Amino acid sequence: MSVEADFLRRLRAMVVDPAARGLMDDAAVLATSGEQLVLTSDTLVEGVHYLPDDPAETVGWKLAAVNLSDLAAKGATPRACMLSYALSGDADWDEAFLDGLGQALDRYAMPLIGGDTVALPAGAPRVLSLTAIGQVAVGAHVPNRTGALPGDILYLSGAVGDAGAGLELLRADESEPSALIAAYRMPEPDLALGHILAPVAHAMMDISDGLLIDARSMAEASGCAIEITAIPLSSDYAALYGLSVASRIAAATAGDDYVLLAALPPDVSAPDGLVAVGRCAKGAGLTVVLDGAPVTLPDRLGYEHRPGQSASAKHS
């Protein structure tokens, strides 16, 4: 059992409020007499979730975007957010970070209403956290990752692998294709599509740690088997790495994609923008079949938190 899995196991033993959904999801749902509130929190750590020389404004944007992506997976409308910020002593970096954060909050109408600031010791990596609050109508279905049923069709709202490719380009001091670097630094949450999917999805989550590891997470949480039969790639990714099984598996394990993975009943017509990537069945576990042939799963299905891990294109 990994360090993260063991820690989550102990946290789940402490959970008593149903709003927490057993800590089996990326967000909590707090129902009141007049509304349902969706709450989620994400943290970015310098050198782990972004490169130390990434522009500060893109880090600010990304911190908002990864939280908004969790709201999108619940079909929630952004209401507000709270920032926990570690000052490092670099006023120019802090100002640029706030510029990028403010651009994202303005674009997606999620006002900042509070938070906390602390000071870091000199040379310590930055630690940046945002808590986002969304709203869903009373009585509306708020999908989680536990509801997938045998017979459901799995869909993605976009290609995977672009963010991981963008990170590798930056590590190689390359700047093109710029769309891949933008996918890594400035992801765009699928809020509009999340609103459309939430009422009909049996299960839904965003892909943050990698398609394969997140699909396995949905399978385990839902008590079913999942078979992945397609891995959509962007034209930029395909031009760079090709369409081989190996390149598709690399894309499906890279993470940081922030597209939606939804399990829909087979009688539901998929909205525009979705790509069918597999199905749910009776049983357990994850299998991959590409080009009609079973694929041996790699040892690493995606990103898992480990102490001392260096910068990676994965985040949850």
Q: In tens digits, what is the pLDDT along the chain, a chain of 316 residues?
A: 566 667 666 666 665 555 555 555 556 665 666 778 899 999 999 998 899 999 999 999 999 999 999 999 999 999 999 999 998 889 999 999 999 999 999 999 999 999 889 988 888 899 999 999 999 988 888 999 999 999 999 999 999 999 999 999 999 999 999 999 999 999 999 999 999 999 999 999 999 999 999 999 999 999 999 999 999 999 999 999 999 999 999 999 999 999 999 999 999 999 998 999 999 999 999 999 999 999 999 988 887 655 444 444 433 3
Looking at the fold, whether 181 and 59 belong to one and the same domain comes out as no
Using DSSP bridges, classify how beta strands 77-87 and 112-119 pair: parallel, antiparallel or unpaired.
parallel
Looking at the fold, whether 254 and 197 belong to one and the same domain comes out as yes
Residue 98: is it exposed, middle or buried by C-beta count within 10 angstroms (0-12/13-18/19+)?
middle
Q: Is residue 31 part of a domain?
A: yes
Q: Which of 103, 136, 169 is the last residue of a domain?
A: 136
Q: Is residue 124 part of a domain?
A: yes
156 residue type, one letter: L
Q: Is residue 314 part of a domain?
A: no
Other CB atoms within 10 Å distance of the CB of residue 179:
14
The CA R_g of the chain, rounded to the nearest whole Å, is: 19
**CATH number for the domain including 42?**
3.30.1330.10
Q: Is residue 300 part of a domain?
A: no
Q: Which is nearest to 246 in space by CA: 186, 298, 175?
A: 298
Looking at the fold, whether 288 and 161 belong to one and the same domain comes out as yes
| C-alpha to C-alpha distances, 293 to 229, 279, 287, 289, nearest whole angstrom | 9, 16, 11, 5
Residue pair 53/108 in contact (Cβ under 8 Å)? The answer is no
Looking at the fold, whether 171 and 259 belong to one and the same domain comes out as yes
Other CB atoms within 10 Å distance of the CB of residue 269:
8
Using DSSP bridges, classify how beta strands 28-31 and 36-45 pair: parallel, antiparallel or unpaired.
antiparallel
Looking at the fold, whether 81 and 108 belong to one and the same domain comes out as yes
Q: pTM score, two decimals?
A: 0.86
| C-alpha to C-alpha distances, 246 to 160, 179, 201, 253, 261, nearest whole angstrom | 14, 22, 30, 11, 21
Looking at the fold, whether 120 and 174 belong to one and the same domain comes out as no
Q: Which two tokens stand for residue 13?
A: 């033993």
Looking at the fold, whether 7 and 105 belong to one and the same domain comes out as yes
Looking at the fold, whether 64 and 33 belong to one and the same domain comes out as yes
- CA-CA distance, 76 to 191, in Å (whole number)? 8
Beta strands in 137-237 (DSSP E): 153-156, 203-206, 225-228
> 3-class SS at 258?
coil
Looking at the fold, whether 279 and 182 belong to one and the same domain comes out as yes
**Residue 190: which domain range?**
153-295
Looking at the fold, whether 257 and 164 belong to one and the same domain comes out as yes
The total domain count for the chain is: 2
Looking at the fold, whether 265 and 201 belong to one and the same domain comes out as yes
Q: Which is nearest to 143 in space by CA: 280, 24, 302?
A: 24
Q: Is residue 198 part of a domain?
A: yes
Looking at the fold, whether 158 and 289 belong to one and the same domain comes out as yes
**CATH number for the domain including 204?**
3.90.650.10
Edge to edge, the sheet with strand 260-264 lists 203-206, 260-264, 153-156, 275-281, 225-228, 285-290, 293-295
> 3-class SS at 235?
helix
Q: Is residue 260 part of a domain?
A: yes
